[in-house]
Each structure stands twice: as structure tokens, then as C-alpha cells.
Chains A and B, each alone.
Chain A
Amino acid sequence: MSVIATNDLSKDYRLGFWRERTFRALDRLSLQVERGEVFGFLGPNGAGKTTTLKILTGLIFPTAGTATILGRPVGEPETFLQVGYLPENPYFYDYLTPQELLDYFARFYRMTAPERRRRRDVVLEQVGISEFRHLALRKFSKGMLQRIGIAQAILHNPEIVLLDEPMSGLDPVGRREVRQLILQLKTAGKTVFFSTHILSDAEALCDRVAILNRGKLVGVGRIAELLQQQSGYEAVLECAAPDLLAQLKLLAAQDVVGSGGQYRVEVSEEKLRRLLDLCRQDGLRLISLNPVRFSLEDLFVGMLQESDHRNVS
């Protein structure tokens, strides 16, 4: 069952004061996030990730399309009883201490005073800043503020946790802890939707990812499935016949690289049989054949390049 759904969601920003122009930050985004999954929202800077999250939290309004969380239109205050949100580069009232801040936020939920105190202590412990609970937030580093941000997002034990760049500003230990925290949330049956451009985090955590570029969705699915679509073989061949070389180029997924009579060809899984058939002919000799394992980074870069290429043409 989809707990987060967007349908043809678009957002235009107006630029300029006298001569108004519009900039499309999000372009007809349609996606569904299922209950209990960790969903990664990937894309380069300016891809529209934060815009999407801000629409989901009602901070900005879509120009077109709809978005729902738990079946309700986004932005309804009641929805936030089940949703927690960490903004990008969070900032909090610096005159408060972590304990005061969490106590303040907890008052917006239907919690009794003892429950408020208990949840506050639990999340402070969970994000590892329990010992700094009485220190004013103005003295906190960026990484510590990030932890406070995560603490306030999970304070009310929500069903859905939206995290905008949760690893930003964290040191390696902090990143590892946040990764563990996301896995803990998954184990507890929560749905986690997080944006990132750190691909290793997405690869380690996500059940599914969506890749966004220039406001458009360029790919969505399970990482393994997406990678399988891209996986293939690298063959090194000797080729003496020019007509066979032309056929090789038709099969190749990328440019055929030749040197000293030898050619390196990358072919997709479904074209492997045709390549092997070709190798049985005179004038072509197979020297080596190796499976190519694409990383998420290769996939990510490939999809972005393809999308840019489509936009240009």
C-alpha cells in the first residue's frame, strides 16, 4: 500500500521582479512509496529533491499535480501526527537547550507530560546527544544540529520519516550512526523517505530509489533491478574484417575502443548471444569475455547523462 503518492507534481518558481520568468523546479513527478520501505531520493544539486520534500510537508505549494501522505492531501496538520521531517541544514532556536527544544516540540502532539519526558529522553539517547541536553543550541556544531534535527523528526514515533540530506554535515562516525538509525526505523516497520546525493548511503540502505534530474524523474525501482538493466559483458576481440567491425559497433552499448588490431566491446546481457554468434565467423576471434558489474554511481551518472542528452535534443 502506498503511504506517499505524488501524481504529475510540478512546481514553478517565478524569477525576476520586473520581467517575470518561470523556472520549473519539479516537472510532473509521479511516484509511490510503499509502507515499511526505505526509499532513497537521488539527484544532483538542484534536481528538485528538496522542492519535493517541501511540497510533501506543505511548506511550499505545487503549481500542478497532487501529493498525498497516508491518503490525505499534504499540508494538513493532522497528517503530521504520523509524519516526522528533518529539513536540509536544520536550524533551531539557539536560545534553547536540546531538552527544552524537544519538550517544546513534544507539546504539539497528544502526549501526556510523563510520555513527553520519556520520548524526549529516548530520542536524545538514540541520536547520541544525551550528555549535551543542557547545552544551549547556539554552541552546537553543524553535525550536532543534524542529530537534533533527526531527534525532533522521530520524537513522536511517526509512521513515516522524511529526511532531507540526513548525512549532511556528519563525520564518518555520525554517518554510520544515522545509517544504523534508519535501519532501526525500518526494522520497527517505519517508512523512511530520504534524499541524498551520497550514493553509497543509498546503496547500503534503500529498498528502492528514484533518480531525479532537472526536476524530472529519470528512473525508479529496486537498486538491484536497475543495475541489472545496466549490467552486461566486456569482450576483447581481434577483428580482421571491416564488415564484422561494423556489426560489432551495432551491438555495442558504448563506443568500440580499438588498439593494435584488438577491440574492446561492451554489450548488454540480451545481446551477448548475438556477439557469440558473430565470433563464430571467420575474421573475428574472441580473446576474453568478462561480466561487467555497474555500480550505482555508473547507473546514476549514466541516467543523468541520458536525461541531459534527451533535454538537449
Chain B
Amino acid sequence: MRFSQTLVIALNTFREAVRDRVLYNLVAFALILIASAILFGEISIGIQKMILINIGLSSISVFGLLIAIFLGIGLVYKEIERRSLYSLLSKPVRRSQFVVGKFLGLNLTLLVNTVFMSAGLWAALYYVSRAFVPQDLSIWVAMYFILLQLSLVTALCLFFSCFSTPVLSAIFTFVFYVVGSFSADIRTFGELTESPVLKAASTVLYYLLPNFSDFNISAWVSHGQPVSGRLVLLNTLYAVLYGGFLVGASVMIFSRKDLK
């Protein structure tokens, strides 16, 4: 069986997202928020650009997260619930190709949306400073990290949507995202506590839950600080391995599932 089956499913998942009006609303909101950052900057003398970058990257991240969760929770469940999957899986398609195709399709959607929102941020930046400086290139790295983070969120959604309802999947994903964003604090807590039980629990949680805190570098970037190549490499490896594990687990669960 060829990769093309996976690609066909991915492209259709992208087409489904593109035809969803909610997506456009979210992207429009993000762009409006980025534009409004210019106004916030006007009243903050000297730090206009910093505020713009901070609000811009946060908007891209938050709205990207909303899109990832909103579309991700229905990736598999909706197809089972509406029975559209029955016709699809009676074609020469493996269940693993379906799951991976769905994952890639949503990632493609998030990539295109992030590119759109990033273009808005770049336009706002150009409007404010009328020039780009070499430090601005770090913004690209921040955007890349947001994409990695969204890809992990998509993998979480996909994993949960293989065995639970959309509402529960959304709750689980959101909880994992919030706890994972405080990953560094969990480790610090474990180092400070004297209870061996809490220390062991925090260590397990730190390694088990996805670590989203290392992907958030907007404060860093807004201050014009460079991002090390090592961090880029480690974050990329982490996202690929953790995301790969989640997609693999989703494939295993879904391949054994009875589609009643």
C-alpha cells in the first residue's frame, strides 16, 4: 500500500477544515488582535515593537491552539459518529493510513493558518518599525516553535479522540496543555519538596506529560534575544518523538477498535 493513500486523506482533511467557517472566524479574530497590538503599542512609549511581538505571537499561539483543539477532537470521533468512515475504510485504505492522514491534514491546516497569521504580524511589524532588523529573524523561530507545539496538541487530540467523546477529548487535551505549560514548575516543585512521594510523583509527571513550556519563547524574542541552535534541535526532536509516540499509540488503539 502506498503513501499516496495517506496523502489523499490528509488533503481531504485540509479541504474539510478550509470549508469550515469557524476556522475563518478564528483567523480573523487573531488578525484583528494583532492589528490592535499596534494601538496598544502607541500608548507604551519605546516598547511598541516589544508589545506587538508579544501580543502577536500570543495571538497566533492561542488561536492556533483553539483551531487545533476544535478541529482535532472531531478528527476520528466525528467520522465514526457520522459513519462517513464506513465508506472510507471499505476502500483499499489501512486504518493506520487513515489516522496518519488525519493527523497530517490537520497539521497542514495549522501550518497554512499560522503562515496567514504570521504574515499579519510581519505586516504590523513593518508598519511600526518601517524596517526589519536581523534580530527579527528570531520571530520565525518562535513561530516554528508554535507550530511544533500545535502539532503536539493535535497529536494529543487525535489520541484522545480515538477512545473518547469530543467534549472529553477537549477537556483532556486542554488539561494536558495547561499542566504541560507549567512543566518546568512541576520539576522545580519536585526539587524543593522534602516528601519522597511528592518528589517521585512530580518526576513522573514531568517526564510523562508533554512539556510545552520550552516552546514558549515569545518573551525572549520580543527582547531581541537570539535563540540557540541547540534549543531548536532539541525542541524539534522532542516534538517528533513525543508526537510520533502519540500518533503510534492512536494507530494501535484505532486498529483494534470495533466500528459499531
Contact = CB atoms under 8 A, between A and B. Distances in A.
Contacts of A85: 86-87, 90
B12 A54 contact: no
Given A91-B83, A108-B8, A57 B90 contact: yes
B50 to A, nearest CB: 41
B92 A149 contact: no
A80 interface: yes
A82 B259 CA distance: 22
Contacts of A114: none
B67 to A, nearest CB: 17
Contact of A89 (B19, B83, B91): B83
Interface in A54-74: 54, 57-61
Interface in A99-153: 104-105, 107-109, 149, 152
Contacts of B12: 93, 104
A77 interface: yes
B137 to A, nearest CB: 38
Contact of B83 (A90, A95, A96, A104): A90
Interface residues of A, number: 29
A29 to B, nearest CB: 17
Contacts of B204: none
B108 to A, nearest CB: 16
Given A91-B82, A108-B5, A80 B260 contact: no
B16 A87 contact: no
Most buried by A among B87, B90, B258, B260: B90
B93 interface: yes
Contacts of B4: 107
A77 B94 contact: yes
A13 interface: yes
A96 B92 CA distance: 21
A78 B243 CA distance: 29
Given A78-B92, A80-B92, A93 B83 contact: no
Contacts of A77: 1, 91-94
Interface string B226-260: 00000000000000000000000000000010111
Contacts, number: 73
B129 interface: no
B91 A105 contact: yes
A80 B90 contact: yes
Nearest to B12: A104
Nearest to B83: A91
B91 A149 contact: no
B89 interface: yes
A242 to B, nearest CB: 58
Contact of A60 (B82, B87, B258): B258
A294 interface: no
A87 B83 contact: yes
Interface string B100-132: 000000000000000000000000000000000
B8 A87 contact: no
Interface of B: 1, 4-5, 8, 12, 15-16, 19-20, 82-84, 86-94, 256, 258-260
21 contacts: A54-B260, A57-B90, A58-B90, A59-B259, A60-B259, A77-B93, A77-B94, A83-B90, A84-B90, A87-B86, A87-B87, A90-B83, A91-B82, A91-B83, A92-B84, A93-B84, A95-B15, A104-B8, A105-B87, A105-B88, A109-B91
Closest 3 pairs (CB-CB, A-B): A85-B90, A87-B86, A108-B91
Interface of A: 13, 54, 57-61, 77-78, 80-81, 83-85, 87, 89-93, 95-96, 104-105, 107-109, 149, 152
